[in-house]
Structure 1
């Protein structure tokens, strides 16, 4: 999660590298864009406050740069700032936005640009909601809404190396990230979470296409691939950071979680103790935790703990696997 100190660092010492760079002349952009979009994005203009209905649109989806189509923001990070311009708390990726110091009009501000094509989007301020405290104040005309069927689910069931390895194999799952949620401090480190003092659980954030796999099925798989009857423990991993938990984003998800737990109780002799709690924020774990199993398959923990879990998972949920994952684990060593 980016915070104000990160924005200042980028604006001062250099921005992250974009995935790609698109360069055109103003004449070329002018042929592609509507006049107001050209004025704002290429000539660094500002649209009139409250001039776009985008300020009051909060449906699921994503927002892309009107010039080059690069994805910039997710509707889940959009909030009502009362300023008259669409406002977001975070970009979709750390390198989606470039930051420049802007000293125009007798003020010192941080300008936000598309990191792909250098389109002027707006400015970033440090008066947004916690935990990031950021407000990306964007010109609506610089953005275009992109419809998306992608949804997100967040839950934990022990070491996130295991849970990430499992859910990466599922049909309909587009991305899995390991991280932390449910604790008392912002941007916790792995060492802090492992101390058990922050209250965070090791969790995964699953991005999935709801047309291909349902939230309920994700929860059934979650409750079937760890032991939801042992409080604050999964095998040899002991502590609140290893608790079984489902973090819901809305009341519909909460109700579904309650129904699936009641349904799955018949599978277990002991009571299911999985916590159901509202998601406040998902903090992405350090880079070396991401894709841990795929990057470290010969490591002892992967061989002894994750491999057997994956083999059992493949047998139980063969019909849910991506087409290229249906082979038995043993064929992969």
Structure 2
């Protein structure tokens, strides 16, 4: 989760690298955009407050850049700010938005641009709701609604090499990334996390289609494919970074997590100690941790540890596997 100090750091020290770049001449942009879209996005204009119905629309979906179609914001992060412009607490990805110092009109502000094509979106302020405290004040003209019902779930159950391999085989799961959540150190490295001093857990961040697999299904699979009764330990892996944890993004998800734990408790001889905590930030792990099992199927850890877990999982959830 980005916070104000992250925004200031990017604006002062340079922005994260975008996934791609789209560059056109001003003449090319003018040909493909409407006059108002061109004025706002390419000439740093501002639309009139309360001029768009987007301020009051909160149905599920994603918002993309009107110029280059890059996904920028999720409706889950949209809130009613009462300012007259659509407001969000976070971008959809850390590198989706670029930040620049803006001292125009005698004010000091942080301008928010599309990191792919440099389109002017609006500004970022530090008066938004917690836990981020950010308010992305965005011109509606800069955005277009994209139908996308996918959701995210983040949880840990020991080494993320194991959990990633399991969830990649499920129908309805679009993407699985390994990383770190739940700690206090920003942008931790694997070496730092393995010391157990950063507070992070090794987790997976799952993008899924809720019409094919539910959050409740994911949690039941999660809790039944690792040992949720051993504090800070999974097999030979010991330390707080290997704790069993579920991160929720909404109060509804929190209630579902507590319900699933209560329902599954009778299946275990010992008490389930899985932590249920509010999601704050997912830091993607280093590239060599991604798709680890698929990239190293004959490795010792994969053969000795991951394969037995996969075999058990495949028998338990045969009907939920990708064919």
TM-score by length of 1: 0.82
SS at match of 1:68: coil
For structure 1, which segment, 283-292 or 26-35, has the greater mean C-alpha deviation from structure 2 after superposition?
26-35
Q: Within 5 Å, give how 1:1-150 maps onto structure 2.
A: 1-2=1-2, 7=7, 10-11=10-11, 15-128=15-128, 134-150=134-150
The aligned residue for residue 283 of structure 1 is 282
Alpha-carbon separation, structure 1, partners of 2:37 and 2:296: 47
Alpha-carbon separation, structure 2, partners of 1:27 and 1:199: 51
Following superposition, the deviation at residue 129 of structure 1 comes to 5.2
Alpha-carbon separation, structure 2, partners of 1:155 and 1:19: 25
Deviation string 1:208-233 (CA, Å, 9 cap, x unpaired) is 00111122221221122111222332
Alpha-carbon separation, structure 2, partners of 1:244 and 1:89: 28
The aligned residue for residue 242 of structure 2 is 242
- Structure 1, unmatched stretches of 5+, are 324-333
Deviation string 1:169-195 (CA, Å, 9 cap, x unpaired) is 211111222233344555555455444
- Structure 2, unmatched stretches of 5+, are none
Alpha-carbon separation, structure 2, partners of 1:277 and 1:230: 15
1:309 aligns with 2:309: yes
Alpha-carbon separation, structure 1, partners of 2:249 and 2:8: 31
Following superposition, the deviation at residue 142 of structure 1 comes to 0.7
For structure 1, which segment, 65-74 or 250-259, has the greater mean C-alpha deviation from structure 2 after superposition?
250-259
SS at match of 1:92: coil
1:210 aligns with 2:210: yes
Alpha-carbon separation, structure 2, partners of 1:110 and 1:215: 36
Alpha-carbon separation, structure 1, partners of 2:11 and 2:244: 40
Q: Any conservation in 1 of the 2:180–2:285 contact (CA below 8 Å)?
A: no
Give the superposed CA RMSD.
Answer: 3.0
SS at match of 2:276: strand
Alpha-carbon separation, structure 1, partners of 2:19 and 2:197: 37
Matched pairs, number: 322
Following superposition, the deviation at residue 86 of structure 1 comes to 2.5
Alpha-carbon separation, structure 1, partners of 2:16 and 2:248: 32
Following superposition, the deviation at residue 133 of structure 1 comes to 5.2
1:221 aligns with 2:221: yes
Following superposition, the deviation at residue 235 of structure 1 comes to 0.6
SS at match of 1:69: coil
Following superposition, the deviation at residue 91 of structure 1 comes to 2.3
Q: Any conservation in 1 of the 2:172–2:213 contact (CA below 8 Å)?
A: yes
